[in-house]
Amino acid sequence: MYRSTALIGALVGATLLAPSAAYADPIGWGGTVLPNQVQCFSRTAGSTVYQVRVEGSATKKGARFRFLYNGSVLDATSTDTAPSFAAERRTSLGNFPGPGTYEICAANHYTTNTVVNLHVLFNGEFI
């Protein structure tokens, strides 16, 4: 009985001392997007978030990028051949919608694979 109590106490103590990250959620996704496939990455902004930036890049012929807030398109590329894309919304510019889900999507409308990197960044994660 004493051994199990001591072991549980040690485990609880170790758990309380374990370090934790300020932002533990991932900020991006990278990988291969197959022909006629769409890949999206999203993050949820809480009440302490005051600015957001999305970034995307694609190899080969590029991709069509979309920036969404709670499922509604805020911005998008006009062609299917964009090699990169970036968009921002900031409280200081008066265009930040507020807390919610921010998402970036890349669509590959070609017959070859493309490698895509997608990021959603908040506050101090970008300048």
| Average pLDDT for runs of 10 along the chain of length 127 | 44 41 74 97 97 96 96 96 96 96 97 96 88
Number of domains within the chain: 1
Angle, vertex CA 85, rays to CA 80 and CA 86, nearest 5: 150
pLDDT tens by residue, 32-67: 999 999 999 999 999 999 999 999 999 999 999 999
Which residues, including other chains, have CB under 8 Å from residue 58's CB and lie 6 or more apart?
Answer: 33, 65, 82, 83, 84, 106, 108, 114, 115, 116, 117
Q: Smallest Cα–Cα separation from 102: which of 84, 115, 90? A: 90
Whether residue 61 is contained in a domain is answered as: yes
Per-residue pLDDT at 24: 58
Whether residue 2 is contained in a domain is answered as: no
In the chain, the amino acid numbered 82 is A
Whether residue 43 is contained in a domain is answered as: yes
Check: pTM over 0.85? Answer yes or no: no
Whether residue 91 is contained in a domain is answered as: yes
Q: Smallest Cα–Cα separation from 87: which of 106, 65, 72? A: 65
Whether residue 7 is contained in a domain is answered as: no
What CATH code is carried by the domain that includes residue 52? Answer: 2.60.120.380
Which residue range is the domain that position 108 belongs to?
A: 27-125
Whether residue 89 is contained in a domain is answered as: yes
The rounded distance, in Å, linking the Cα atoms of 125 and 77 is 23
Whether residue 49 is contained in a domain is answered as: yes
